[in-house]
Structure 1
Amino acid sequence: MGFGCCHYQEVGEGCDSAFTMESSRVTFGRGCLSEVGDRARALGMRRVALFTDAGVARLPIFGTVVESLRAAGLELGVFKDVSIEPTDQSFLEAIRFAADLRPDGYVSLGGGSVIDTCKAANLFATWPSDFLTYVNAPVGEGRPVPGPLKPHIACPTTSGTGSEVTGITIFDLRSLGAKTGIASNALRPTEALVDPDCTATLPGEVVAASGLDVLSHALESYTARAYVRRPAPARPTLRPMSQGANPWSDLGCREALRLMGLYLERGVADATDHEAREQLMWAATLAGIAFGNAGVHAPHGMAYAVAGLVRDFRPTGYPQEEPLVPHGMAVILNAPAVFRYTAAESPERHLEAATWLGADARGAGPGDAGEVLADKLIRIMRAVGMPNGLRGVGYTEADVSALASGALPQQRLLQNAPREMTRPVLEGLFQQALGYWSP
């Protein structure tokens, strides 16, 4: 199953014949957060910009990081105003902070929103430009980052986004009504300190949403268009991070899916199940490395519209008072519909993925792959308390066209899907994603 060699498919005409393996340096284990000061000093940091959010700043782990940095003799400036779901405006506030502080290194402590905000601050403080200069085309100009950034140590506090090992930063562009982002290897944190103890206080609802983000990272990377089906870059150094499915990313996808099948429901149900939460943190790291090299596709591309157009949905377990569809929730609500559609292109991979998640695929043939995987995803969604499709977060049939319009600009993601994602296809997928089970 899967593949063990580079050329698992014949190279398409004009397509790439190689893939590149990239990752941040990762330290994983309970208590490793206390290493941050020594590691920052080893990277040459003297004045550190520490990014976090107001919630994390009240936790003991924040004190652990501050104490470690100060014990290493480092000067410290702290930015605590990160938004749970960053916007262009919240990014600009963080950029101004970094530009004024002029640090020689960065530390982020928080979930994906904190790490992404820190990446953006590092980028624009190091290489100032108009805000849309580096933003992915067609929303922004999509210009390459001119050179290296300052060192950045990312310390994730949720088992979900994988941002600590990727070169991607995501935000809500208010004028567009959808999420977009910046993708560059230059944004990838220098190091990641992944301490499972950071998730001990997370509510089950947050673990569920972030865990389902991990699950979809792995599923999308494993089913993405193969790297030998992506057009060859004009120069090797222009090879994109979203290379498509490849042997390196497949390794992380397989293990992440297996771990999610075993531990997600346990980790959501019981905050004292330390084994489950540690394994979810490890799965998040593996899936982050995988999708940081293969790329995700339609569920994520559609999720940016779902989150960006939210009207009045307020999830439990999240402190933000404004309407919000958490990222992992926005992703998974699209996933069953998408994988029913994409299974026709690579049924074996869809069946393999369903099996690693714990589905019984005995007797299933290629024509059953989409339904087997979708059914398993729906069972997991119900077990961890997800809404019943897009209707559960406030959307109706009348919103399908607007949702498709919000998703269409996400071409970096949609073009990584194994099947074509036209406007009519997206409208059909959003329609199917409105609900999955009888009330």
Structure 2
Amino acid sequence: MAITRVAASARSRAVNLLRTIQAHPPSCPCHGNPMHPHHFAKAASGLLNAGGSRFLATPRDASQMKDYAFEMAASSIRFGPGSTREVGMDFANMKAKKVLVVTDKTVRKLRPMKVAVEALEQEGIKYEIYDNVRVEPKDYSVKDAIAFGNRHPDVDAILAVGGGSVMDTAKLVNLYTSAPEADFLDFVNAPLGKGLPVTCKLKPLVCIPTTAGTGSETTGTAIFDLVEKKAKTGVAHRALKPTLGICDPLNTATMPSAVHASSGLDVLCHSIESYTAIPYNERAPRPTNPILRPAYQGANPISDVFSFKGLQMTAKYLPRAVKDPEDTEAHEQMLLAATLAGVGFGNAGVHLCHGLSYGLSGSVKDYRHKGYEVDYPLIPHGVSVAVTAPAVFKFTGPSNPERHLQVAEVFGADISNAKAEDAGAILSDALKKFLESLGDQPMGIKALGYSKSDIPSLVEATLPQRRVLMLAPGLDAATDSQVEELSSILEDSMEY
């Protein structure tokens, strides 16, 4: 038996070594790196000699060309205890006459809504309240909110007070009430929708998060369940990003421990996925027009800073926030971490943890996560992304061992003598320990009610998530190969 284990370990190390070599073939450090000063100077010389046409001319087949630029877009952010009370003045400064306030039935009863409404009233701003947002929105719940918005055509601004579900619903209300002639699937991510660019003018949108996780106050992404397909999808476009995000740490003080944990795990995966995504200049196709450049572009030097800082803060403060409801410093720092990670992933994108999560949460059977007061089956988003993380980063490790080891070190792993081919396994083990330390976390998808017989349908629900799968390092481009690789990751995620 011992010999068998040793042989299996040797095989695993050999496979990882081969994948690492394939992902990082030996090359001249100058000519193998397109951003090396020598290579860049040569390219610049070509640009000058060709009158700029080398970089600026539209290629004959842009679908085969990799991108050469990245864009940074994020909402204006205000951070500070008590800043919610300024929102009335913000809308007055925008010359808003009537505001649609979007929230859910739980948050409507809490302090953040009370303060926000009082702030509107103090400035004499009229408002309508929609409080029927569903936790983990479905397409029908989003359409209900849009219909409410259409019944109030005099609304000229929108305020979202709540977690990611509320903020995402508010973004979609803003979009579809501003483009009433559009079909619901027009802007939804392809291939489930048409993926059309957003060209209409949207209303001012202010988001006040009451959870420390999604970072939705910074991004142009809005996610929901497409019920017929049993998969999550959404709309992702820079035009959807809020005008202002007001991050008030007082608003997260009443979060239950389970919500702290789930929201924080979303921050965790936002950070690691965006930091380990393929580089922006390895993503194809190159857009033929800047408006077609996706919000999720791949890792880039600016997003890296936000993502890695968000990761460091999450590793430090999330365990404290979960274990001690009175730890105000930890709660405040987690809200800041969520915002930082939001800026990071909102421009770099996420990959396999999120891609796989959409099938897991969209196909939920009877699972109800402890600590969530809902009367329907629910796998919170943060739980659905984190549950596959150990297997995901074990798979992606060979694509960029250095970055995976950097992440593992954040969780306390000793990487001083680590081999490149072991990077994925080292990070995987570190993540397992971190998840276990939080308590009450499902250690594998079996705990969510899934078995090996569900893997084909979960893979089928994942394959349409092209905007995130295309950013996954090490994932084969061929669909048949992706089926095999995704199945392997899910099987490895069954139990830890």
Give 5+ residue unaligned stretches, structure 2. Answer: 1-32, 44-63, 477-481
**Match of residue 35 from structure 2:** 7
Superposed CA offset, 1:54-103 (max 9, x none): 00011122110000011111110000000001000000000011111121
SS at match of 1:163: coil
Q: Aligned partners of 1:148 and 1:389: how far apart in 2?
A: 44
Superposed displacement of residue 356, structure 1? 2.2
8 Å CA contact retained: 1:261, 1:358: no
CA distance in 1, matches of 2:90, 2:435: 39
Instruction: Give 5+ residue unaligned stretches, structure 1.
Output: none
Name the amino acid aligned to 1:426. L
* Code of the aligned partner of 2:96: M
2:240 aligned with 1:180: no
Q: Partner residue of 1:318?
A: 372
CA distance in 2, matches of 1:14, 1:308: 34
How far apart are the structure 2 equivalents of 1:227 and 1:322?
40
Q: Which amino acid is 1:169 matched to?
A: A
Q: Can you list the C-alpha shifts for 1:350-387, whole angstroms capped at 9, x where unaligned? A: 11111123322221121121011111111111111211
Tell me which residue corresponds to 2:157: 105
Distance 2:69 2:138 in 1: 36
Q: Give, in angstroms, the shift of residue 198 of structure 1.
A: 1.0
Which of residues 239, 246, 251 is equivalent to 1:198? 251
Radius of gyration: which is bigger? 2
Letter in 2 for 1:344: P
Q: Match for 2:174 among 93, 101, 122?
A: 122
Contact 1:354 1:373 in 2 (8 A): yes
Counterpart CA distance in 2 for 1:357 and 1:282 is: 19
Query: Residue type of the partner of 1:390?
Result: I
Shift of residue 33, structure 1, vs aligned partner:
0.9
How far apart are the structure 2 equivalents of 1:15 and 1:8? Answer: 17
Partner of 1:268: 322
2:454 aligned with 1:426: no
SS at 1:368's partner residue?
A: helix
Greater CA deviation, 15-24 or 70-79?
Answer: 15-24
* SS class of match (2:489): helix
Q: Give the corresponding residue for 2:53.
A: none
Give the whole-Å Cα distance in 1 for the aligned partners of 2:365 and 2:69: 44
> 5 Å matches for 1:136-285?
136-231=189-284, 232-285=286-339
Partners in 2 of 1:148 and 1:374 — Cα distance?
Answer: 44
- Tell me the TM-score normalized by structure 1: 0.96
Aligned residues: 432
Q: Secondary structure at the residue paired with 1:288?
A: helix
Structure 2 counterpart of 1:365: 419
In structure 2, the CA distance between the partners of 1:6 and 1:163, relative to structure 1 (3 Å rule), is: farther
Q: Does 1:396 align with 2:451?
A: yes
The 3 A distance-change label for structure 1 pair 358 and 33 is farther
Q: 1:226 to 1:166 in 2, by over 3 A?
A: same
Distance 1:376 1:44 in 2: 51
Distance 1:71 1:34 in 2: 10
The answer to whether 1:406 aligns with 2:461 is yes
Aligned counterpart for 1:298 among listed residues 330, 352, 359:
352
CA RMSD of aligned residues (A): 1.6
Q: Which residue of 2 aligns with 1:18?
A: 69
2: CA distance, partners of 1:353 / 1:226: 17
Alignment TM-score, normalising by the size of structure 2: 0.85
